[in-house]
Amino acid sequence: MSRITGIVAEYNPFHKGHAYHLKKARELTDAEHLVVIMSGDFVQRGAPAMFDKYLRTRMALLNGADLVLELPVSSACASAEYFASGAVQVLDRLGCVDALCFGSESGDTAALAACAEALLTEHTAYQHTLRSLLKKGYSFPAARKEAFADLNRSESLAGLLDSPNNILGLEYIKALKRSNSKIQPFALKREGAGYHDKDLSASFPSATAIRNFLKEIPAGDKKIPSGYDGFLTNTMPSSAALLAADRLSGESPVWEDDFSLLLRYKLMLHTPQELSMYSDMSPELARRIHARLNEYQSFSQFSALLKTRELTYTRISRALLHVLLNIKAEERPLSVPPYARILGFKKADRGLLREIKEKAEIPLITKAADYQKLLDETAREKFRQDLFASNLYETVRTQKNGTTFVNDIQKPPVIL
């Protein structure tokens, strides 16, 4: 029986830090196989991925991943708790994953586990303090840290909540504990630039820095400008840089503002009460959206316009994306995931697929069109939600670049 390690990722885009993570995860956990569960065409910060899920899958497979599965869109676009829970539950129900390796600023698995245990044990008291602080006008990140410090009285543990990858790692461990999973967590210390760092001179520049640089490509310019090839080579593994350069030579990346007109149309359809039904949408935010809709210019501009001390830009972007993708609050992904969809795998690892098929508690979907016969009606509806999200993305990508639309249900997995 092989040792299998899971990794949760977005790869938006895939860069040298991701390749380092895959390499070190294999070493740290003594893994024979690496299974990545990756966000599809939309990501956790409430935006489209700059490259589609199949290109990012190919990049991952060329740089150490053995199998890439798609994280259902309702989890992929959710807050840290629900994002982590959805990913962990898919990995857990494969029935053969031994470890979960994630990057964090601290790299201290024991400290993160202690923090997770405290939050789970004192959940009611923590939530009470958190709500109280939010009512006083604290931003959510500040309230979360203060509430934990009040609960735990440990400055060192509360300090873990200052960093985004620590927070996500904490949520992975909470999800594992909540599920009584046999999967063991391993925190790998993050090297190079921080998650939000825009410095391109770091040894491993962040995905944020790379996206910001590539956004400077003139709108409508399909030819990658002189000098960008070198930038890609400096920030991405050579195989990923070649794929990115090839794509950028014929297409522009996809950004949130490419969905601006579609989003405005969806917002115009709803009353504040109807908007409140969407995930991450509070009644207060719904009323604010309705009151300021006449000032709408673009997806990003409107997210910035709606930002307050209590509501972060990312929280607002996620709420707006949920409206666009029709993801309702009642669909919060803490329930058992109904399937695992394959985005790509290596031919040499067919034994891994056989092991998963033998042990998985949920259907493994290799060919998208087979979902009708593999899933019950509830699961089919969830899968159709994923198809809708990817087809909306493909519509915008192909319209923007003058390329041919291909329905997601017709696309085969990437096989190397």
Tens of pLDDT, residues 162-171: 788 999 999 9
Q: Tens digits of per-residue pLDDT, 41-87?
A: 999 999 999 999 999 999 999 999 999 999 999 999 999 999 999 99
Question: So what's the pLDDT on residue 309?
Answer: 83
pLDDT of residue 98: 98
Q: CA torsion 240→208→326→135, rounded to 10°?
A: 160
What is the average pLDDT score of the chain? 90
Q: Across residues 121-137, what is the average pLDDT?
A: 84
Q: Is the pLDDT of residue 221 over 60?
A: no
Q: What is the mean pLDDT of residues 205-230?
A: 73
Instruction: Give the per-residue pLDDT at 158.
Output: 65
Provide the pLDDT for residue 291.
97
Q: Which residue in 53, 128, 74 sits closest to 278, CA to CA?
A: 74
Q: Can you tell me the mean pLDDT for 212-239?
A: 75
Q: According to the model, what pLDDT value does residue 218 have?
A: 66
Which of the four pLDDT bands, split at 50, 70 and 90, describes residue 22?
very high
Q: In this structure, what are the phi and psi dihedrals at residue 203, rounded to the nearest 5 degrees?
A: -60, -40
Percent of the chain with pLDDT over 90: 71
Q: Binning pLDDT at 50, 70 and 90, where does residue 192 land?
A: low
pLDDT digits (tens, 9 = 90+) for 313-368: 999 999 999 999 999 987 665 466 799 999 999 998 889 999 999 999 999 999 99
Q: Which pLDDT belongs to residue 219? A: 57
